[in-house]
Every structure is written in structure tokens, then in C-alpha cells.
């Protein structure tokens, strides 16, 4: 905007200079021409001849000022004097008739060389008539000066903004390429330092953000497709076994084997239910709805009940649980309780499936910089696992922690497994 204003002011300054140059040079040339030529004298002769005809036709005397004034007004006379022996008899600048007391006029001193004699009924008199017929030439010069000034102003402005127009067209062409896809535009041209440059930078940033978003969505879709295919495969395995067990139960009449296959059938049904619950949970947390975060509470208020329930269930199922802390930290965190419940259920489910009962499970917590961490470490059981492949449970935990502004870290060793949850601490007013 500042450059545009500068161009306008520069064009106005140059236009004003040109106008003044043409105006003064043109008017000066006209003044010199009319003063040195016979133009005014010839015009005066023609007009005085017309006046002589009027005087003769109406038998006027030099003192008939009213009739003379009417003729001067009808013929648009600029200046008109009648005198005898350098004594003024009539002057059209006076609004009243001139007295015949032979009043002197200084103007006669400057116009006597243009006098021409006119015959009146009361004698001859010297007449000076000035008709401003050259005024039209001065008007033409003034109009030409103004027109040239305006054209120069427009020309300077057009030349100044031509670069902006080309830049705008270039950006418009690059924006039009977006219709063919984001990848069709290598980059948006950035040059100069003005509002258009800021616009180009904004377009380039928008393109970068859109490309990143598109890449992220593509990777997410790819991961989802992979996850769904893996889940379909994992569901198919226990479902096939379930159908086989049901078919055996249908055909097996012996009671002891029926009870065995019923137990296996229930186990496979529970396995299918867990997988379907995890798949439902995955699409639920990826629906785009942000979690409802609760107000900040102390760590003990948020985690104590969940940890107690986790320990009780593990100990009931024959696991040994060791706590790595003696008291809760005096800090606060903000969480979504629905997500925390889902996370703890997933962690418990994984421990029951994969943890070795002969080794202890270590629960730990603490403060690490500006984060509160809660970790679980256990040894993996030495048995083949049916559906460890997809890792949808841990994946869901990672997504839920990310949506709560936290993070999840997983460490898999040959004989041990550790998962750690990090929650951002509430910033105190004094920090």
C-alpha cells in the first residue's frame, strides 16, 4: 500500500510539473505572438468598421452612451472607449454616462496607438475597441496542459503498477493450478516486500500445511487400512476355531468332551469380543471429537482408584505387583476420565494376556521435567500369543494420550516389556 501511495504521489508531482511547464510556456508564447503581431489590430479594425456602420445607420452622437453601451453588450466587447483630443467621452467600465467635462483617463495613454477615427453626428472621435478573441487560444493551451498532466499521471501510475499486475497474474495462474491438485504447484513465487509478498507467503504456507495434512491423512488411511486388515485376520482366526468347536459340540454326544469344547468356545468368544471392542474403541477415538477434559486435580485424586483396581485384579489372577513409590506426588494434572478408564482397561488386558506370572510386575510413577509419568514393567510369558500382531490396544492408548496433550512410550526387550504414560503438569501461577 505504501508503494502504491508513493507511485500516486510521484505521478501527481510529475503531472503538476508538466502542467505548469506547458501552462507558462504556452501562455508566454501566446502573449509574445499577440503583442508582436497585427492580430489584435486587425480584430480591432473589423470591430470598429462594424461600429461605424451602426453609428451611421442610427445617426448616433458620441454622447449617446446608452445606445453605444447596448451595441457593446450585444457584440461582447471587452473594452471600449471614445475620446477627443485625449479627453475621455465614453468608457464601458463606467456604469453611468460620462460627463462632458472632458475628464482625463490614464488608460488613453496606453491605447492611443490603437485609436481609429469614427464619424458621429456631433463630429469625429477616436475609438478604441478591444475584443478578446484570443482567449480561446489561451483556453486551448490550459486544456492541453491539464490533459497532458492527467495523461502523465495515468502513465506513471500504470507503469508503476504494471509490475504488481504481472505479479498478481502470476500468483493467479499458480492458484489456478491448484485445481489440478496440490502437487501441480512447485512453489508460489515470492518477491519484494509488500502486501502481495505477504499474500504469496501465506499461499505458500497454506500449500505446505495442506500437503502435510494430505500426507498425514494418506498415512493415517494407510495405517487404518492395515489395521483393519490385520483385525479382520485376527477376528477370522478365533471365529474359525469357534465355528469348529460349535460343530464338534453339535456332533459330540459325550458329556466330558462337550464341556471341554464349551469352555474353549467361550474363550474364543471372549477373544472375539475383546478384538471387536478394541476396533470399536479405535474408530471412536478417531471420530474427530475432542475429549472432554476435566478440571485439574491432584494425581492421587485422578490415579489412586485406577491403580488400586489394577493391583487388585492382577493379584487376584495370581500376579505379583510391586509399587515403586511410597506416596503420591503433590502436583495436579487434567485428564479425560473416560479415556483414563479405557487406557487402564487396555493395560490390564495386555498384562493378563502377555505378562509372566512367575515374575513381578513393577508399577512406578514420578515427575520428569514438566510431566508426570506412570509406568508398568513386566516380563513376557514364554508362550505363543494368538493376536499380538496388530497392537491395536497400544495404538489406541497412544491416540488417547495424544488427544489429552500427553504421550505414550513403549519399550520392548527380549524378556521384558515397559509402557510409560506421560501427562503434562498444571502450570502453577508462580512459574
pLDDT in tens, 54-68: 888 888 888 788 888
Instruction: Provide mean pLDDT across the span 215-241.
Output: 72
Instruction: Provide mean pLDDT across the span 196-210.
Output: 75
Quick check: helix, strand or coil at residue 389? coil
Answer whether 328's CB lies under 8 Å from 363's CB: no
For residues 419 and 430, give the distance between their C-alpha atoms in angstroms, rounded to a whole number: 32
Task: Tell me which DSSP letter residue 325 carries.
Answer: -
Q: What is the pLDDT of residue 143?
A: 92
Q: What is the pLDDT of residue 408?
A: 92
Q: What is the pLDDT of residue 113?
A: 61
Residue 110 confidence class, pLDDT cut points 50, 70, 90: low
pTM: 0.47
Residue 128's Cβ-count burial label (10 Å; 0-12, 13-18, 19+) is buried
For residues 242 and 190, give the distance between their C-alpha atoms in angstroms, rounded to a whole number: 64
Name the residue with higher pLDDT: 211 or 319: 319
Q: What is the pLDDT of residue 419?
A: 92
Other CB atoms within 10 A of residue 125 CB:
22
- Grid cell, residue 228, equals 483393519
- Grid cell, residue 320, equals 505379583
Q: What is the pLDDT of residue 235?
A: 67
Instruction: Provide mean pLDDT across the span 292-304.
Output: 88
Beta bridge partners of 128: 81
For residues 237 and 233, give the distance between their C-alpha atoms in angstroms, rounded to a whole number: 6
Residue 362 confidence class, pLDDT cut points 50, 70, 90: very high
Share of the chain above pLDDT 70, in %: 78
Amino acid at each position: 500500500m505504501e508503494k502504491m501511495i508513493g507511485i500516486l504521489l510521484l505521478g501527481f508531482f510529475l503531472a503538476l510539473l508538466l502542467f505548469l511547464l506547458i501552462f507558462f510556456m504556452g501562455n508566454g508564447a501566446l502573449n509574445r505572438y499577440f503583442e508582436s503581431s497585427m492580430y489584435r489590430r486587425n480584430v480591432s479594425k473589423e470591430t470598429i468598421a462594424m461600429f461605424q456602420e451602426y453609428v451611421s445607420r442610427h445617426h448616433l452622437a458620441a454622447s449617446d452612451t446608452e445606445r453605444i453601451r447596448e451595441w457593446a453588450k450585444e457584440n461582447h466587447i471587452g473594452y471600449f472607449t471614445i475620446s477627443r483630443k485625449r479627453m475621455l467621452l465614453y468608457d464601458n467600465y463606467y456604469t453611468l454616462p460620462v460627463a462632458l467635462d472632458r475628464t482625463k483617463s490614464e488608460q488613453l495613454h496606453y491605447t492611443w496607438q490603437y485609436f481609429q477615427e469614427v464619424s458621429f453626428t456631433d463630429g469625429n472621435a477616436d475609438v478604441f475597441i478591444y475584443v478578446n478573441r484570443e482567449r480561446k487560444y489561451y483556453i486551448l493551451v490550459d486544456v492541453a496542459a491539464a490533459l497532458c498532466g492527467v495523461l502523465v499521471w495515468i502513465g506513471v501510475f500504470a507503469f508503476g503498477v504494471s509490475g504488481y499486475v504481472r505479479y498478481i497474474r502470476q500468483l493467479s495462474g499458480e492458484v489456478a493450478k491448484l485445481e489440478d491438485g496440490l502437487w501441480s504447484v512447485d512453489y508460489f513465487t515470492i518477491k519484494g516486500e509488500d502486501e502481495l509478498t505477504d499474500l504469496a507467503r501465506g499461499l505458500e504456507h497454506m500449500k505446505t500445511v495442506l500437503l502435510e495434512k494430505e500426507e498425514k491423512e494418506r498415512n493415517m488411511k494407510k495405517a487404518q487400512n492395515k489395521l483393519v486388515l490385520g483385525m479382520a485376520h485376527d477376528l477370522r482366526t478365533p471365529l474359525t476355531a469357534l465355528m469348529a468347536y460349535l460343530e464338534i459340540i453339535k456332533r459330540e454326544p459325550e458329556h466330558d468332551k462337550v464341556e471341554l469344547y464349551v469352555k474353549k468356545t467361550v474363550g474364543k468368544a471372549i477373544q472375539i469380543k475383546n478384538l471387536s471392542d478394541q476396533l470399536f474403541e479405535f474408530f471412536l477415538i478417531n471420530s474427530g471429537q475432542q475429549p472432554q477434559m476435566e478440571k485439574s486435580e491432584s494425581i492421587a485424586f485422578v490415579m489412586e482408584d485406577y491403580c488400586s483396581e489394577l493391583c487388585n485384579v492382577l493379584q487376584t489372577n495370581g500376579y505379583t505387583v510391586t509399587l515403586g513409590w511410597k506416596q503420591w506426588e503433590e502436583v495436579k494434572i487434567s485428564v479425560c476420565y473416560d479415556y483414563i478408564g479405557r487406557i487402564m482397561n487396555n493395560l490390564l488386558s495386555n498384562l493378563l494376556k502377555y505378562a509372566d506370572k512367575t515374575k513381578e510386575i513393577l508399577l512406578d510413577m514420578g515427575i520428569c521435567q514438566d510431566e508426570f509419568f506412570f509406568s508398568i514393567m513386566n516380563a513376557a510369558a514364554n508362550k505363543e500369543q494368538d493376536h499380538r500382531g496388530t497392537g491395536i490396544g497400544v495404538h489406541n492408548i497412544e491416540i488417547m494420550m495424544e488427544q489429552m496433550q500427553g504421550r505414550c512410550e513403549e519399550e520392548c526387550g527380549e524378556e521384558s516389556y515397559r509402557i510409560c504414560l506421560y501427562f503434562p503438569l498444571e502450570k502453577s501461577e508462580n512459574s
